[in-house]
């Protein structure tokens, strides 16, 4: 499929995109701007209800934005929606292929809708399709969750799109299939296809080249995962004791605590670095917790994860 | 064009894969056409009558015989006690009481005048009305017989009498099935076209496949045609099955042209599909679509003239029927099949249905644009 878009321009550009529902009562997306570069794997990271799906629907021309402009492969999402529909691949969060058609029939059907055939772009989907091949006469509705995702990816790729939009492709998929799925994406990236992917799983953010952290319809931070983690402004400690629940409550009660969140059986803690509560070190924390009756108190300094960054940004955002 | 072909192929593949629906499409017309016309019969028969004969004369016996011999009445009880008869009415075992007074025969001869009493159980209004009317007719006939017997023509000169004899045109034996079968066929075609098309599109909405389709370069008109054409074909298949059942089971041979019937069916299905399409643009779930479509089809059928004559509806209801496509199809079916009407007779019907088709489909397509 040919296109007249400028190859040096960004694959996706958003400029102050806004969208509200129910006559402005519900704000889905507010003033969102970011770019996805050609051939980039860009992650949109945020919890459920953050506005990820609304952004995807705007970029895939299924929804009209209320404010701002956006382009995909140089085409405006409002004016040139028809051109965009021919050159993007979209995989909605919910499995949306024909459950009563077989694997093969689904792939062929979507190929013909884009005026192409499976053979024409077979090299692009080969890695994925060989895994589906044994089930090609099975109806799509009877596939396992992981297989469904692979089939959906095949159908989204069948016309060699310039940009691939994947809305929470790994939600509800087992860990092994999730890992496989990300490996497939890395290979696709090598083919030069720009990929915009959303996920609520913070650990998957590390697989992206750049990420945007989104919360409540607004972007909190856009950078590479490494830069976002380095930008974490405080020293982070992991504290552990036998009673993790009360440990967190007791830490929150201390004056030196700046923030304190439960992570599994640990508590991630940052300390005040200024003011009267300053100067607390690891020993002070341990001593304070022992004084409150906690046994086996351990503390160590850790590198912040994306999730730590996300929670911290979320706190600032609300303040 | 190529894309449309692929869409149609996909659509038919899905329909043929859904065995339940396919079975319904083929079986429903046959079953309904076999059961409904035989069961839904408006002729009132088997009216149970109690005769309270206080007279027991030759004259009263002759009256009773002519009532029971008419074929409409079943004698429930012949009793000399009015109370016994009333008890049967109260138990809902009798519909009518005819009381013949004592000295009926003698007084009729002597006074040239006599009174009979009819009590009607009006719980079943239709049966009561018709029963009383039938009974009146029989008594009037009986009366007329008596007069011709007694009156001596030579003495009084000829007595002028008006005798009415009715000829039933187009359906000489007043065969109820000839009237019902074409109407039921119209109803069946409506069901298949309106329900299936509405549900099918909403199903795509529910499963999210419509989103996936919308992100492809496929054009709206291609998608809509891809949905309409299969149900158009199915509607005509149902119509054909109906025609075959009508011909070979009921032996009804259309008086008019079969091609004219098909021509009208093609236009009519287009119009009804528009209704299904319109419902599907508003409904978000198959449940909603089902309910809304059911609501409209109910009204269309009730106000379609299938069971009750449109001419006897109140004026406001008759106005509503003008906007009811089902009405036109039922009328055309009856006109062409029973009366042998030609295109010239039904051209206004054509116009009305085409108009509705354009409005419904146009509205649906516009609404489709807006929501995506």
Say how many CA atoms lie within 13 Å of A292 toward its Cβ. Answer: 18
Quote the ipTM score: 0.77
pLDDT band at B356 (very low <50, low <70, confident <90, very high): very high
Higher local confidence (pLDDT), B155 or B195: B195
State how far residue A205 is from chain B, nearest Cα, in angstroms. 26
Number of domains in chain B: 2
Q: Spell out where A216-253 has E strands.
A: 218-223, 236-240
Spatial contact of A50 and A120, defined as CB atoms under 8 Å apart:
no
Domain covering A12-229 in this structure, CATH number? 3.40.50.300
- Does residue B141 fall inside a structural domain? yes
Helix axes B58-68, B125-150, angle to 10 degrees: 130
pLDDT value at position B370? 54
Task: Name the burial class of residue B242, with classes exposed (0-12), middle (13-18) and buried (19+) by CB atoms within 10 angstroms of its CB.
Answer: buried
User: Domain A233-303 is in which class?
Assistant: alpha beta
B215 touches chain A (CB under 8 A): yes
Select the residue of A62, A105, A109 nearest B215 (Cβ to Cβ).
A62
pLDDT greater than 50 at residue A90? yes
Among B117, B138, B120, CA closest to B129: B120
Of A68-77, A109-118, B173-182, which gets the smallest average pLDDT? B173-182
Residue of B nearest to A141 (CA): B207
Q: Are residues B266 and B308 in the same domain?
A: yes
> The domain that contains B99 carries what CATH number?
3.40.1710.10
pLDDT value at position A153? 92
| CB-based contact B217 A82, cutoff 8 Å | yes
Sheet holding A75-76, edge to edge: A26-36, A12-21, A67-72, A75-76
Domain boundary among B106, B128, B156: B156
Q: Spell out where A168-295 has E strands.
A: 194-199, 210-215, 218-223, 236-240, 257-263, 266-271
CA angle A117, A123, A129 (to 5 degrees): 80
DSSP string, A73-99: TTEETTTTHHHHHHHEEEE-SS--S-T
**CA dihedral of residues B330, B331, B336, B338 (deg, nearest 10):** 90
Among A236, A261, A266, A272, CA closest to A311: A261
pLDDT greater than 80 at residue B372? no
pLDDT value at position B126? 73
| CB-based contact B3 A112, cutoff 8 Å | yes
CA distance B289 to B276: 9
pLDDT value at position B65? 87
Q: Tell which of B3, B21, B217, B369 to mutate to test the A interface (max A CBs under 10 Å).
A: B217
pLDDT greater than 70 at residue A1? no
B305-323 mean pLDDT = 87
Of A45-54, A278-287, B222-231, which gets the smallest average pLDDT? A278-287
pLDDT value at position B122? 81
pLDDT greater than 60 at residue B221? yes
Q: How does the average pLDDT of chain B come out, rounded?
A: 85
State how far residue A186 is from chain B, nearest Cα, in angstroms. 24
State how far residue B224 is from chain A, nearest Cα, in angstroms. 14
Question: Which tokens in the block code for residue A26?
Answer: 């519900």
CA distance B178 to A157: 59
pLDDT greater than 80 at residue A62? yes
pLDDT value at position A71? 93
Domain boundary among B130, B156, B182: B156
Higher local confidence (pLDDT), A195 or B302: A195
Q: Are residues B207 and B109 in the same domain?
A: no
- Does residue B16 fall inside a structural domain? no
Residue of B nearest to A77 (CA): B215
Q: Which helix (H) or strand (E) holds B148?
A: helix B125-150
CA angle A195, A197, A200 (to 5 degrees): 165
Q: Are residues B195 and B138 in the same domain?
A: no
Query: What DSSP designation does A304 have?
Result: P
Q: Are residues B123 and B201 in the same domain?
A: no
List of chain B residues whose C-beta atoms are within 8 Å of the C-beta of residue A95: 208
DSSP string, B78-131: EES-HHHHHHHHHTT--SEEEEE-TTHHHHHHHHS----EEEE-TTSHHHHHHH
Q: What is the pLDDT of residues B119-161, one digit of tens each?
A: 888 887 777 777 888 888 888 888 877 777 766 555 555 556 6
Residue of B nearest to A61 (CA): B215
CA distance A152 to B150: 96
CB pairs under 8 A between A and B: 63
Spatial contact of A199 and A205, defined as CB atoms under 8 Å apart:
yes
Spatial contact of B354 and B263, defined as CB atoms under 8 Å apart:
no
Residue B318 is part of which domain span?
173-371
pLDDT value at position B174? 64
Q: What is the pLDDT of residues B14-72, one digit of tens each?
A: 988 888 888 888 888 888 888 888 876 666 677 888 888 888 888 888 888 888 887 78
pLDDT value at position B369? 67
Domain boundary among B114, B130, B156: B156
Q: Tell which of B12, B211, B216 to mutate to test the A interface (max A CBs under 10 Å).
A: B216
pLDDT value at position A5? 45
List of chain A residues whose C-beta atoms are within 8 Å of the C-beta of residue B17: 100-101
pLDDT band at B169 (very low <50, low <70, confident <90, very high): confident
List of chain A residues whose C-beta atoms are within 8 Å of the C-beta of residue B14: 98, 100-101
pLDDT value at position B333? 92
A133-155 mean pLDDT = 91
- Does residue B35 fall inside a structural domain? no
A192-202 mean pLDDT = 90
B82-89 mean pLDDT = 86
B235-243 mean pLDDT = 92
| CB-based contact B209 A86, cutoff 8 Å | no
List of chain B residues whose C-beta atoms are within 8 Å of the C-beta of residue A61: 214-215
Residues 6+ apart with CB under 8 A from A189: A39, A40, A41, A195
pLDDT band at A263 (very low <50, low <70, confident <90, very high): confident
Q: Are residues B177 and B92 in the same domain?
A: no
pLDDT value at position B41? 65
Residue of A nearest to B372 (CA): A62
State how far residue B218 is from chain A, nearest Cα, in angstroms. 6
Q: Are residues B143 and B199 in the same domain?
A: no
Of A54-68, B71-85, B350-364, which gets the smallest average pLDDT? B71-85
Select the residue of A88, A100, A115 nearest B215 (Cβ to Cβ).
A88
Among B98, B42, B51, B116, CA closest to B79: B51
pLDDT value at position A3? 43
Q: Which helix (H) or strand (E) holds A18?
A: strand A12-21
pLDDT value at position A278? 59
pLDDT band at B218 (very low <50, low <70, confident <90, very high): confident
Q: Are residues B106 and B202 in the same domain?
A: no
Q: Tell which of B16, B215, B369, B371 to mutate to test the A interface (max A CBs under 10 Å).
A: B215
CA distance B59 to B62: 5
What is the rounded end-to-end Cα distance, in angstroms, of chain A?
48
| CB-based contact B212 A96, cutoff 8 Å | yes
A145-159 mean pLDDT = 90
pLDDT band at A2 (very low <50, low <70, confident <90, very high): very low
Going from N- to C-terminal start, the domains of chain A cover 12-229, 233-303
State how far residue B361 is from chain A, nearest Cα, in angstroms. 23
Q: Are residues B140 and B244 in the same domain?
A: no
List of chain B residues whose C-beta atoms are within 8 Å of the C-beta of residue A99: 207
| CB-based contact B6 A86, cutoff 8 Å | no
CA distance A1 to A165: 18
Task: State the CB neighbour count (10 A cutoff) for residue B302.
Answer: 16
List of chain B residues whose C-beta atoms are within 8 Å of the C-beta of residue A113: 3, 6, 213, 216-218
- Range picked from A176-180, A256-260, B258-262, B363-367 for highest mean pLDDT: B258-262
State how far residue B289 is from chain A, nearest Cα, in angstroms. 20
What percent of chain B is helix, strand and coil (3-state, nearest 5)? 70, 5, 25
State how far residue B10 is from chain A, nearest Cα, in angstroms. 7
Q: What is the CA radius of gyration of chain A?
A: 23
B18 touches chain A (CB under 8 A): yes
Q: Are residues B123 and B224 in the same domain?
A: no
């Amino acid at each position: 499929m040919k296109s007249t878009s400028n190859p040096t321009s960004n694959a996706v550009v958003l400029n102050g995109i806004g969208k509200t529902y129910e006559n402005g009562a519900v704000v889905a997306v507010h003033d969102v701007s970011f770019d996805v570069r050609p051939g980039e794997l860009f992650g949109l990271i945020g919890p459920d209800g953050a506005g990820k799906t609304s952004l995807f629907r705007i970029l895939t021309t299924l929804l009209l934005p209320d404010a701002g402009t956006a382009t995909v492969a140089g085409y405006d999402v409002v004016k040139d929606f028809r051109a965009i529909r021919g050159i993007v691949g979209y995989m909605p969060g919910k499995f949306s292929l024909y459950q009563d058609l077989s694997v093969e029939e689904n792939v062929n059907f979507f190929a013909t809708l884009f005026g192409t055939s499976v053979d024409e772009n077979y090299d692009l989907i080969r890695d994925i399709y060989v895994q589906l091949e044994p089930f090609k006469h099975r109806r799509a509705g009877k596939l396992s969750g992981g297989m469904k995702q692979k089939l959906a990816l095949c159908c989204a790729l069948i016309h060699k799109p310039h940009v691939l939009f994947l809305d929470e492709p790994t939600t509800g998929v087992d860990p092994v299939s999730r890992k496989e799925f990300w490996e497939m994406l890395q290979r696709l990236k090598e083919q030069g296809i720009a990929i915009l992917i959303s996920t609520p799983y913070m650990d998957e953010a590390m697989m992206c080249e750049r990420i945007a952290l989104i919360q409540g319809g607004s972007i909190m931070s856009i950078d590479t995962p490494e830069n976002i983690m380095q930008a974490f402004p405080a020293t982070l400690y992991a504290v552990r004791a036998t009673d993790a629940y009360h440990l967190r409550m007791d830490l929150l009660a201390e004056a030196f605590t700046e923030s304190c969140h439960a992570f599994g059986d640990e508590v991630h803690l940052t300390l005040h670095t200024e003011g009267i509560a300053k100067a607390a070190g690891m020993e002070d924390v341990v001593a304070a917790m022992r004084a409150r009756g906690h046994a086996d108190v351990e503390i160590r300094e850790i590198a912040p994860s994306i999730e730590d960054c996300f929670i911290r940004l979320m706190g600032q955002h609300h303040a | 064009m190529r894309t449309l072909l692929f869409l149609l192929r996909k659509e038919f593949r899905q329909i043929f894969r859904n065995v339940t629906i396919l079975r319904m499409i083929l079986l429903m017309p046959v079953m309904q056409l076999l059961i409904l016309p035989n069961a839904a019969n408006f002729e009132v028969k088997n009216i149970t009558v109690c005769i309270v004969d206080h007279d027991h004369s030759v004259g009263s016996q002759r009256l009773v015989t002519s009532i029971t011999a008419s074929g409409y009445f079943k004698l429930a009880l012949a009793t000399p006690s009015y109370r016994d008869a009333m008890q049967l009415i109260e138990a809902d075992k009798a519909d009518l009481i005819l009381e013949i007074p004592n000295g009926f025969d003698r007084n009729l001869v002597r006074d040239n005048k006599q009174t009979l009493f009819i009590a009607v159980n009006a719980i079943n209004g239709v049966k009561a009305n018709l029963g009383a009317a039938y009974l009146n007719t029989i008594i009037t006939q009986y009366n007329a017989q008596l007069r011709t017997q007694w009156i001596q023509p030579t003495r009084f000169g000829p007595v002028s009498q008006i005798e009415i004899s009715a000829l039933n045109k187009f359906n000489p034996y007043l065969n109820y099935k000839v009237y019902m079968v074409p109407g039921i066929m119209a109803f069946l075609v409506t069901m298949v076209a309106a329900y299936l098309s509405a549900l099918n599109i909403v199903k795509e909405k529910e499963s999210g496949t419509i989103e996936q389709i919308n992100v492809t370069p496929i054009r709206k008109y291609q998608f809509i045609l891809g949905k309409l054409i299969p149900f158009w074909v199915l509607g005509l298949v149902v119509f054909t099955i109906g025609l075959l059942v009508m011909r070979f089971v009921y032996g009804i041979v259309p008086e008019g042209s079969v091609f004219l019937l098909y021509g009208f069916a093609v236009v009519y299905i287009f119009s009804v599909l528009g209704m299904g399409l319109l419902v599907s643009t508003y409904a978000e779930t198959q449940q909603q679509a089902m309910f809304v479509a059911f609501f409209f089809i109910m009204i269309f059928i009730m106000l379609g003239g299938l069971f009750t004559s449109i001419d006897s509806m109140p004026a406001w209801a008759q106005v509503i029927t003008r906007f009811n496509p089902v009405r036109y199809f039922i009328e055309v079916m009856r006109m062409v099949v029973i009366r042998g009407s030609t295109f010239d007779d039904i051209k206004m019907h054509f116009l009305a249905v085409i108009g509705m088709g354009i409005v419904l489909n146009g509205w649906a397509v516009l609404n489709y644009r807006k929501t995506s």
